């Protein structure tokens, strides 16, 4: 089987909620010499991206999205240790990521983080409903170049301003770029609230993060 056929089958396994075949397919792809990042980005994540689109157009419902996530994570469990064991040479930056205070949506964050990791962004997850102080502390401790706010509701997206202000007050704002994510975000509004960018799509966000880091985004 060619690499592109293998990737198509991996994406289809996630999209078709095929929990039985996803793990053996990932193992087969690895045995064939395919790169873990390729398997994740162009196989499993591609399937999850299609699921996200189908959900947004009303062609899939939440229970199916949650099963698709399980399939995605079953495949991810095989490739993730290999990605993390790959050493630092592919790492382009560190990102502290958490949900803004009051926001407990986990699915989007859990889908986005492996996509970022597969693209060389080391992610420190500070969890859901993280206080402004928790962001400040994590920045002090981990010295990231990027901070990601998970904001899945209008109310928590609007809280961006306060969290940015806390980071500013701690004297850390100039050390980090800030990007918001979630279905309620808008890049212009995020900038007006003091962040640097926003995206409702993890794959588009990777390009935006690369631009913020001054790394070629691969589309110019």
* Window contacting ligand B12 (CB under 6 A); options: 35-43, 83-91, 131-139, 143-151: 143-151
Please tell me the distance from the alpha carbon of residue 200 to that of residue 198, in angstroms, as a whole number: 7
CA angle, 100 then 146 then 138, to 5° = 60
DSSP secondary structure string for all residues of 198-210: EES-HHHHHHHHH
Binds ligand B12 (CB under 6 A): choice among 150, 167, 193, 195 = 150
CA-wise closest residue to 33 among 2, 71, 78: 2
Binds ligand B12 (CB under 6 A): choice among 103, 117, 132, 196 = 103
CB atoms within 10 A of CB 152: 23
* Window contacting ligand B12 (CB under 6 A); options: 31-39, 135-143, 179-187, 210-218: 179-187
Could you tell me if 178 and 166 are in contact, meaning their C-beta atoms sit under 8 angstroms apart?
Answer: no
What binding mask, one character per residue, do residues 68-97 give for ligand B12 by CB under 6 A, x or -?
-----------------------------x
DSSP secondary structure string for all residues of 152-190: -SHHHHHTHHHHHHHHHHTT-GGG-EEEEESTT--HHHH
Q: Quick one: 141 or 155, whose CB is closer to ligand B12?
A: 155
CB of 210 to ligand B12, least distance (A): 12
The reply to whether 62 sits near ligand B12 by the rule CB under 6 A is yes
Binds ligand B12 (CB under 6 A): choice among 23, 50, 105, 211 = 105
Name residues contacting ligand B12, limited to 26-45 (CB under 6 A). Answer: none
CB of 217 to ligand B12, least distance (A): 14
Q: Quick one: 52 or 120, whose CB is closer to ligand B12?
A: 52
Binds ligand B12 (CB under 6 A): choice among 86, 127, 183, 194 = 183
Please tell me the distance from the alpha carbon of residue 97 to that of residue 99, in angstroms, as a whole number: 7
Residues lying near ligand B12 in the complex (CB under 6 A) = 52, 55, 62, 65, 97, 102-109, 111-112, 148-150, 152-155, 179, 181-184, 199-202, 205
């Amino acid at each position: 089987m060619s690499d592109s056929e293998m990737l198509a089958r991996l994406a289809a396994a996630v999209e078709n909620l095929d929990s039985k075949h996803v793990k053996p397919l990932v193992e087969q792809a690895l045995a064939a010499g395919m790169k873990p990042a390729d398997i994740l980005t162009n196989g499993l994540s591609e399937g999850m991206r299609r699921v996200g689109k189908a959900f947004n157009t009303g062609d899939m419902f939440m229970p199916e999205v949650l099963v698709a996530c399980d399939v995605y994570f079953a495949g991810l469990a095989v490739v993730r240790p290999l990605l993390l064991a790959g050493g630092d040479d592919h790492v382009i930056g560190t990102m502290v990521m958490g949900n803004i205070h009051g926001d407990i949506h986990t699915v989007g964050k859990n889908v986005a983080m492996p996509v970022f990791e597969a693209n060389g962004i080391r992610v420190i997850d500070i969890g859901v409903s993280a206080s402004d102080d928790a962001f400040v502390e994590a920045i002090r401790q981990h010295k990231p170049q990027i901070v990601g706010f998970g904001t899945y509701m209008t109310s928590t997206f609007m809280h961006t301003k306060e969290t940015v202000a806390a980071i500013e007050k701690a004297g850390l704002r100039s050390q980090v770029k800030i990007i918001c994510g979630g279905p309620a975000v808008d890049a212009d509004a995020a900038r007006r609230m003091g962040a640097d960018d926003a995206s409702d799509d993890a794959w588009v966000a990777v390009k935006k993060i690369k631009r913020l880091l001054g790394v070629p985004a691969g589309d110019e």
